[in-house]
């Protein structure tokens, strides 16, 4: 809903070229089948000059939105802040997420919420039932409106009895029943779909099983959407692009950085849109700069303008949402483990608790110092490892797995009393790290810290291992703990960026 009277048509000199080119590069990097792309692939796909692609990538890399080693480029978790801005602004995941989850539990089927986006339908919330037979679309994925159930609903005017079915239109075996949900202004703003498979239902039996309940719950969904937004408005940011420009010189495209800051700032609108002045205040940018960025973003379909209010459009989700929402802990952690190992020159690993064992989920070795070779999937007893103690310390005492009162001695130094181990675990919980010296294996020292998920729960443990002969344990703690904690903080920041809800 661009209203031409509020924003004059952008002439070439008003539009921000670097922002357009930056978004063109990002769109190629975010394509469903792109993974790591070389600079030359980006040149070919965008038609931009090599020097332009290099500068765009250098800028996005400095903003931590992509990772580049000079040859290959991949998406970085921080890019999710852009999609997160749209998801926050539209308010649907926060308002409908819990109800969507409840419906999925009740029906024991996947439930998704989607919004109209041009000729398509884009997913914004999901509660998935993973099943062998089913394909899974991701948040941010776009389906053609003509081939999915929600598409028909967005095309028709809203009516109380309306529903739409998808009988294997988009995918053999996949069936869906969808109902429209109105926003406070009375328009259909999204659709809730229940998705099943022909091995469990026909379209008719799915409709009979879920439609009455979907119709019942529609008033709750609409009330949740209409409820006033709670939570604090995001704080105003300062313009850091000047500092970065000084640091990187001509390689840094300041107007690309500023345009992206405008995009993210619009996520703070609480669904009401934002005026140009409000965006200027939120970003610390000059009005003229904001105006040119907004003009460019409107032209590119990322932002709409109604009167004096600017608002993010679902198309923003094409900037990495689907690909990034797939990232799991090992992939998130791997680059940070590599960086940690480069810094401390010792092997680093990430593990999770699996019963009374720890299980390796990511690892970057240097030299081999253990008698057994450790790979992803290796399990070790939690009680005798620094990482296990960190993970046990992250659980409430009643959640901790039961251990025998006498634990097997793996070396002469292994703590074998469950009572003594309990005291150690309490100390680890208070201090935020564990150091284990030759309890798992002679000659081996390991230092570990927790890695917390977006809700603050300990999700994994990160460690560095070294020869016990390398200085004292206290020297190792002083030398390694700050780098270990920093790496854990970087992983946690990525987890938070990827899970905005
Ligand atoms: C889905 O959520 O995966 C879905 C929803 C509606 C469709 C097809 C798939 O028509």
Cβ atoms of 349 and 341 closer than 8 Å: no
Q: What is the mean pLDDT of residues 366-395?
A: 92
Q: How confident is the model at residue 221 (pLDDT cuts 50, 70, 90)?
A: very high
pLDDT in tens, 120-167: 999 999 998 877 666 678 999 999 999 999 999 998 888 888 999 999
What is the CA(163)–ligand 1 centre distance, in A? 14
Residue 338 pLDDT greater than 90, yes or no:
yes
Please tell me if the CB atom of residue 137 comes closer than 6 angstroms to any atom of ligand 1: yes
Ligand 1 in reach of 148 Cβ (< 6 A): yes
Ligand 1 mutation target, pool 147, 149, 203, most atoms within 8 A of CB: 149
Mean pLDDT across the stretch 373-387? Answer: 96
> Which among 145, 142, 225, 140 is positioned nearest to 189, based on CA atoms?
225
> Is 137 in contact with 154 (CB distance < 8 Å)?
no
Nearest CA owner, ligand 1 atom 7: 148
Alpha carbon of 178 to ligand 1 centroid (Å): 8
For 260-318, the pLDDT digits (tens) are 999 999 999 988 999 999 999 999 999 999 999 999 999 999 999 999 999 999 999 99
0.85 exceeded by pTM: yes
Nearest to 391 by CA among 295, 324, 337, 458: 458
What's the confidence (pLDDT) of residue 421? 97
112 touches ligand 1 (CB under 6 Å) = yes
The alpha carbon of 227 and the centre of ligand 1 are apart by a number of angstroms equal to 26
C-alpha 108/C-alpha 231 separation (Å) is: 31
> How much is the average pLDDT of 59-86?
94
Mean pLDDT of all residues in 433-440? 97
The pLDDT assigned to 12 comes to: 56
> What is the structure's pLDDT at 10?
55
Ligand 1 atom closest to the CA of 126, numbered from 1: 2
Distances (CA, A) of 5 to 16, 36, 279, 295, 306: 20, 42, 20, 13, 10
Return the top range by mean pLDDT from 32-36, 261-265, 366-370.
261-265
- For residue 2, the model assigns a pLDDT of 43
Report which ligand 1 atom has the smallest distance to the Cα of 170: 8
CA 144 to ligand 1 center in whole angstroms: 11
Residue 3 pLDDT > 70 = no
CB distance 177 to 192 below 8 Å? no
What's the pLDDT band for 9 if we cut at 50, 70, 90?
A: low
Question: How much is the mean pLDDT over the chain?
Answer: 93
Please tell me the distance from the alpha carbon of residue 120 to that of residue 115, in angstroms, as a whole number: 9
Is the pLDDT at 7 greater than 60? The verdict is no
pLDDT in tens, 199-215: 999 999 999 999 999 99
Determine which residue's CA is closest to atom 5 belonging to ligand 1: 193
Q: List, as one string, the DSSP characters of 233-272.
A: PPPPP---HHHHHHHHGGGS-HHHHHHHHHHHHGGGSTTS
Tell how far CA 68 is from the center of its chain.
19
What is the mean predicted confidence (pLDDT) over 64-83? 94
Distance (angstroms) between ligand 1 centre and the Cα of 173 equals: 12
Residue 381, beta-bridge partner list: 357
- DSSP secondary structure, 186-242, as one string: SSEEEEEEEEEETTT--HHHHHHHHHHHHHHHHHHHHHHHHSPP-SPPPPPP---HH
């Amino acid at each position: 809903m661009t209203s031409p009277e509020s924003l004059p048509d952008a002439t070439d000199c008003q539009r921000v070229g670097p922002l357009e080119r930056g978004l063109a590069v990002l769109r190629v990097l975010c394509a469903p089948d792109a993974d790591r792309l070389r600079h030359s692939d980006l040149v070919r796909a965008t038609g931009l000059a090599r020097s332009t692609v290099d500068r765009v990538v250098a800028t996005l890399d400095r903003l931590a939105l992509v990772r580049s080693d000079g040859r290959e480029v991949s998406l970085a978790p921080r890019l999710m802040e852009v999609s997160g801005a749209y998801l926050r602004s539209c308010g649907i995941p926060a308002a409908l997420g819990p109800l969507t989850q409840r419906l999925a539990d009740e029906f024991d089927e996947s439930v998704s919420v989607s919004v109209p986006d041009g000729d398509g339908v884009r997913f914004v919330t999901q509660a998935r039932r993973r099943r062998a037979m089913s394909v899974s679309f991701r948040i941010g994925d776009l389906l053609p409106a003509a081939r999915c159930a929600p598409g028909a609903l967005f095309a028709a005017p809203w009516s109380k009895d309306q529903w739409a079915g998808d009988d294997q239109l988009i995918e053999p075996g996949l069936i869906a029943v969808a109902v429209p949900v109105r926003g406070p202004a009375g328009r259909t703003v999204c659709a809730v779909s229940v998705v099943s498979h022909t091995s469990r239902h026909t379209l008719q039996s799915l409709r009979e099983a879920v439609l009455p309940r979907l119709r019942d719950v529609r008033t709750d969904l609409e009330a949740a959407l209409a409820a006033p937004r709670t939570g604090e408005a995001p704080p105003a940011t300062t313009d850091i692009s000047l500092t970065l420009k000084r640091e990187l010189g001509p390689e840094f495209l300041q107007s690309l950085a500023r345009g992206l800051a405008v995009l993210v700032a619009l996520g703070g609108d609480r669904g009401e849109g934002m005026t140009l002045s409000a965006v200027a205040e939120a970003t610390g940018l000059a009005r003229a700069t904001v105006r040119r960025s907004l003009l460019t973003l409107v032209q590119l379909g990322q932002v709409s303008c109604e009167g004096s209010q600017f608002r993010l459009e679902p198309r923003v989700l094409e900037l990495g949402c689907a690909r990034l929402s797939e990232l799991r802990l090992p992939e998130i952690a791997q680059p940070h483990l590599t960086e940690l190992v480069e810094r401390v020159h010792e092997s680093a690993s990430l593990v999770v608790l699996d019963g009374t064992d720890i299980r390796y989920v990511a690892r970057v070795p240097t030299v081999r110092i253990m008698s057994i070779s450790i790979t992803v999937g290796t399990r070790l007893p939690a009680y005798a490892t620094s990482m296990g103690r960190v993970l046990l310390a992250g659980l409430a005492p009643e959640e901790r797995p039961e251990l025998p009162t006498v634990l097997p001695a793996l070396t002469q130094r292994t703590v074998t009393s469950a009572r003594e181990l309990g005291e150690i675990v309490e100390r680890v919980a208070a201090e935020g790290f564990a150091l284990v010296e030759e309890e798992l294996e002679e000659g081996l020292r390991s230092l570990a810290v927790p890695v917390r998920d977006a809700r603050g729960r300990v999700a994994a443990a990160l460690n560095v291992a070294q020869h016990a002969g390398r200085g004292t344990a206290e020297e190792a703690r002083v030398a390694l703990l700050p780098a270990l904690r920093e790496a854990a903080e970087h992983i946690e920041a990525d987890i938070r960026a990827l899970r905005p809800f």
